[in-house]
Amino acid sequence: MRAIEIFAPAKLNLFLAITGRRADGFHDLVSVAATLDFGDTLRAEVREREVGGGEWKLHCDDATVPTDETNLVVKAARAFAAVTGWPGKGMGVDFSLMKRVPMGAGLGGGSSDAVAALRALNALSGLALGAAELAKMAAGLGSDCALFLHDGPVVMRGRGERIEVLPTGASTRLRGRRALVFKPGCGIATPWAYGRMASKAPSGYLLAAEAEARLAAWIGGDGAAEALLFNNMESVAFEKFVALPTLLEQLRDEFGLVARMSGSGSACFAFLPDGMDAAVIGQTVRAAWGPTSFVVEAKLR
């Protein structure tokens, strides 16, 4: 195999409880995350390395996306090479990224791209590394990377690296649900959001026992996906970015939609009832946040 193309889905945090700050500076969380049928596409192709050239080249169709060593695709490639020694001397890999997931959104675009790179390299190398080995590499790249090794909804714990597949009954209530995902022109930097939350400690955190109790009640019950939705990072983001809660309240009042922010933002989402026209909701979003707002309809995988 000389080339491969991998889909890199976006994700939504349907339930996100930040429960406290750890000694290592990271935060502990309990979250239910689901990937979407919308995302980026990463193509990887093996090539002979030019004299003096590097192992990796990354091209992206979005000029605002950095393609240097700071990109998680390149970091993933270096992590894979450090563990496996592949590709060998004289060989390299060209990556082409078709970027669709906006940055600074809380949709996991960069993390998903990194996992796509790991999957591509695993296939191209023929090494067939197991799930545990890939998960270890993914966790080293970012807190929410490991979830992208799973196709269905998962529960995330720790700083996000401990993954548990959601039970079948609960997963069935999520898979296939239509969601409208929307983001204003501004993004929210994840370090800023977590820093603000830490500065307000402990008032912004939800006790781990309470988070687990809420999650267990939903998993063990028969409530719809809307009953699961929760994100205590909203309290931080909404203080500064007041356009977010203003629109979410408008969608609730005008359309009866339960809308939430994903991750640390700034992207938000709402489940769409059967028969509801997503275009009408999209028009409302753009009227509130401007014509350049990002709006896409997607389904939970």
Q: Are 10 and 199 in contact (CB under 8 A)?
A: no
> How many CA atoms, within 13 angstroms, populate the side-chain half-sphere of residue 162?
7
Same domain, residue pair 84 and 124? yes
pTM of the model: 0.95
DSSP one-letter string for 36-69 = EEEEEEEEEEEEEPPTT--SEEEEES-TTS--ST
CATH number (domain holding residue 114): 3.30.230.10
Give the position of tokens 């753009």: 286
Host domain of residue 200 = 176-299
Same domain, residue pair 180 and 294? yes
Same domain, residue pair 128 and 277? no
Residues belonging to the active site: 11, 144
Same domain, residue pair 131 and 12? yes
Question: Six-digit token pair at 120?
Answer: 């591509």
287 SS3 class: helix
CATH number (domain holding residue 262): 3.30.70.890
Q: What is the pLDDT along the chain (301 residues), one digit of tens a residue?
A: 799 999 999 999 999 999 999 999 999 999 999 999 999 999 999 998 876 667 999 999 999 999 999 999 999 999 999 999 999 888 999 999 999 999 999 999 999 999 999 999 999 999 999 999 999 999 999 999 999 999 899 999 999 999 999 999 999 999 999 999 999 999 999 999 999 999 988 989 999 999 999 999 999 999 999 999 999 999 999 999 999 999 999 999 999 999 999 999 999 999 999 999 999 999 999 999 999 999 999 999 9
Residue 91 forms part of a structural domain? yes
Q: How far apart are CA 143 and CA 131, in angstroms?
A: 17
